[in-house]
């Protein structure tokens, strides 16, 4: 899933999405 590309128009959303992605990655492992 590449949310960054989909939400490339909104800069602020990218930062939030990356943070959520990092948390999800930690949760997965």
Q: How far apart are CA 9 and CA 18, in angstroms?
A: 14
Answer whether residue 16 shows pLDDT above 50: yes
Mean pLDDT of 4-20: 61
Output 9 or 29, whichever has higher pLDDT: 29
Per-residue pLDDT at 14: 61
Q: What range defines the domain where residue 29 resides?
A: 1-29
Q: How many domains does the chain have?
A: 1
DSSP, residue by residue, 1-29 = --HHHHT-S-HHHHHHHHHHHHHHHHHH-
Rg of the chain in Å (alpha carbons): 10
CA distance 27 to 10: 26
How many angstroms separate the CA atoms of 14 and 28, rounded? Answer: 21
Output the pLDDT for position 8: 52
């Amino acid at each position: 899933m590449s949310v960054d590309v989909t939400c490339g128009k909104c800069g602020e959303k990218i930062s939030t999405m990356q943070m959520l992605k990092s948390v999800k990655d930690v949760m997965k492992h």
